[in-house]
Structure 1
């Protein structure tokens, strides 16, 4: 029980990213779940983590 409550307050790792949709480049800090969701929804977008540059 304590572990499940503790997991609610656990912070997910955030990655600085560059997102290019073909027109505009955006700089955001996203979790891996958010990155995966954006890539799934927008196949033509390019999402690059700062560490991959």
Structure 2
């Protein structure tokens, strides 16, 4: 039971990223799930997210 509660509060690893929305560049710390959403979701059509270490 304690392990389940511990997992609930566990924070996902965040990566420093550069996010380009077509007009502005932003420097954010995002989880891998958020990076994948920006790069693959049609509502973020003109957006790109690149991890800092991949630049």
Give the structure-2-normalised TM-score.
Answer: 0.80
Matches within 5 A, 1:34-45: 34-39=34-39, 40=41, 41-45=43-47
Shift of 1:37: 2.1
C-alpha RMSD over aligned residues: 1.2
Runs of 4+ in 1 over 2 A off after TM superposition: none
Specify the alignment match of 1:33 in structure 2.
33
Q: Structure 2: state its 5+ residue gaps.
A: none
Is residue 50 of structure 1 aligned with residue 52 of structure 2?
yes
Shift of 1:51: 0.9
Q: Aligned partners of 2:4, 2:14: CA distance in 1, in Å?
A: 21
Is residue 11 of structure 1 aligned with residue 11 of structure 2?
yes
Q: Say which is worse superposed, 3-12 or 36-45, in terms of deviation.
A: 36-45
